[in-house]
Structure 1
Amino acid sequence: MQATTGAPADWKPGDGSFYNVTCPGAPVAGGLMWSQNPPPGFGGAGPDLAALAEEAVTKMRLLGADVGIAPAPGSKGGSVGLPVWVWNQTSPRTTGPVSASATAMGVTVTATARVRNVRWDFGKGTSVNCPFPGKPYLTSYGAQAPDKGRGQCGFAGYTKTGEYTVNATTTWAVHWAGGGQQGDLTTTRDSAGVQIRIGEVQVVGQ
């Protein structure tokens, strides 16, 4: 917007207006300023609350899943027919809840984000959605497959040998409130792919 600190000398009623200019997240010099035309998005009714909610989400610096997986990357790998376990390491920025606020024109919007679910893509058209972080695999589980009913996440296993890339996409649910209003939005974050190796089951005979 083109603006000055005062109206031009030939100003007359109805010729432009004064605006108290503020920018969320950045200091603004000048304060009350005159402009021939209203600034973009100005409606005279206060700040854009949805935009403030988005700014609050940006401040959270949300991440995708902090991937835990068994068989572990770099190990000798798993075997055909054995289950693959996955989990999301718990922290505010990977699972939530995490909150942040943004303010403009004296109005503050506070948003809180929580993970709605993580979609795990195991390749070859195999994927699973888990609405919880999952639980780390323990050696005591042996060949036990993950059980969603127990908060575990993964799948029954690959049918062919090879190297597979496992990807995770996290969907965050965000609720915001402020300025006498509230609303909800979603945002997604991807994690870097993790490679695992699947081999044949080795049987030792007599």
Structure 2
Amino acid sequence: MALILAATTPAYADKGFGGSTDGESQQHAETGDDGTVSVTVGGIVFDRSKNGSGGSAGALTSSTSWSPPACWYAPKYTPEQLQKYLEPIWEAGSTGYEWDAEQREKYNADDEKKAFNKDKSGEGFWWGSYVNKSYPPGWDACDKDYFWVDTGDAPPADIENAVTPEILAELAYAEIRVPGTEVTLAPTETTKVNLPTWAWLDGAEFKPVSVTASVPDIGISATATAEPVSLEIKPGTPDAQTYPASGVCGIDGRRIGEPYRKGDADRTPPCGVKYLRSSGDGAFPLQATVTWEIHWTGTGGAGGDLPDGEFGATQDVVVQEIQAINR
């Protein structure tokens, strides 16, 4: 999922809560002395310090039709910030006198003390919509105008996708990155017909990863954690036999598969493949996909499970005939 940026509200462009950009929400990254990174985007702070890293790391794809929210509502403006943003638009007359007049009335703009809920400064925020910048289906569903929420109160019941610990967990899911899935094979580089090939993944890399999403201004957060559970191997040809027969290798501790060691030639690999014919002048595209279980915990003891995620890669395997000399 792409980095998350602000939506535009009906009839006019927008800028993010606490930001000063024009048309999009502020994206702000902070790197600590230990190299950890937090990113503020779409009204939410994402802590990625426990995320997967490296050039081959990638985002999970849900194993079901479920997907993270395409849009959501979160705190966006203080009373003073909303006034500073809207009044120049009305003064420019770009949205029409009638609409401007309705907006002035809605926000009580002519009352110097109560305009934009200034009499409640420090007691709440104006909430607004944000959208996944990649615009997946449903990105335009959050079309309600700004609404006020007192600190400590829940958003109105008719507002779907208002940030809650569960919504934050779903958005954190989209920010998770997991290690690449290129498996180590033995024999390396080239394997032989009818010779079992061992396959395994580096146990040091395959450990739980997590991302925490929070909205500090209203004191809620959630952490989504991904844990590897299995590796599925697809040889790239029907003329092959997988170990185990299902092609799905379970995880043992933090290790998937078992490294080949000298003396294992007569053993059946716990995870691997045996090709039954040569790849000729080409190679077979072996596909390795790791399944990750996702669970989350959040403010107030909330928590639960989210759909499993998958991340895979394809690598070429050259398979040769075993040459023998007849005398």
Q: Would the TM-score normalized by the shorter structure come out above 0.5?
A: yes
Q: Does 1:153 align with 2:287?
A: no
Out of 305, 311, 324, the position equivalent to 1:184 is 305
Pairwise mapping of residues 18-167 of structure 1 onto structure 2 (< 5 A)? 19-21=125-127, 37-38=146-147, 43-44=155-156, 47-73=163-189, 77-92=190-205, 95-104=206-215, 105-125=218-238, 128-132=247-251, 133-146=256-269, 152-155=270-273, 157-162=274-279, 163-167=283-287
Task: Give, as a single letter, the amino acid of the residue that structure 2 aligns with 1:165.
Answer: P
Structure 1 unaligned spans of 5+? 25-34, 147-151
Q: Deviation of residue 99 (structure 1)?
A: 2.9
Partner of 1:171: 291
- CA gap 1:82/1:183 in 2 versus in 1, 3 angstroms: same
SS at match of 1:145: coil
Task: Give, as a single letter, the amino acid of the residue that structure 2 aligns with 1:81.
Answer: N
- CA gap 1:107/1:159 in 2 versus in 1, 3 angstroms: same
Is this contact kept in 1: 2:182–2:288, CA < 8 A?
no
- CA gap 1:174/1:182 in 2 versus in 1, 3 angstroms: same
Is this contact kept in 2: 1:86–1:136, CA < 8 A?
yes
Is this contact kept in 2: 1:120–1:169, CA < 8 A?
yes
Task: Give, as a single letter, the amino acid of the residue that structure 2 aligns with 1:196.
Answer: V
Is this contact kept in 2: 1:83–1:143, CA < 8 A?
no
What TM-score does the superposition give when structure 1 sets the normalisation length? 0.71
Is this contact kept in 1: 2:193–2:277, CA < 8 A?
yes
The structure, 1 or 2, with the larger RCO (C-alpha pairs under 8 Å, 6+ apart) is 1
CA RMSD of aligned residues (A): 3.3
1:149-201 per-residue CA deviation (whole Å, 9 max, x = no partner) reads: xxx3113x11111121111111111110113321112211122x211211222
Task: Give, as a single letter, the amino acid of the residue that structure 1 aligns with 2:168.
Answer: L
Q: Which has the higher helix share?
A: 2
Task: Give, as a single letter, the amino acid of the residue that structure 1 aligns with 2:201.
Answer: N
Partner of 1:30: none
- CA distance in 1 between partners of 2:290 and 2:298 (Å): 26
Is this contact kept in 1: 2:128–2:145, CA < 8 A?
no
Percent identity of equivalent pairs? 27
Is this contact kept in 1: 2:225–2:296, CA < 8 A?
yes
Out of 176, 197, 204, the position equivalent to 2:318 is 197
- CA gap 1:198/1:205 in 2 versus in 1, 3 angstroms: same
SS at match of 1:139: coil
Is this contact kept in 2: 1:118–1:168, CA < 8 A?
yes
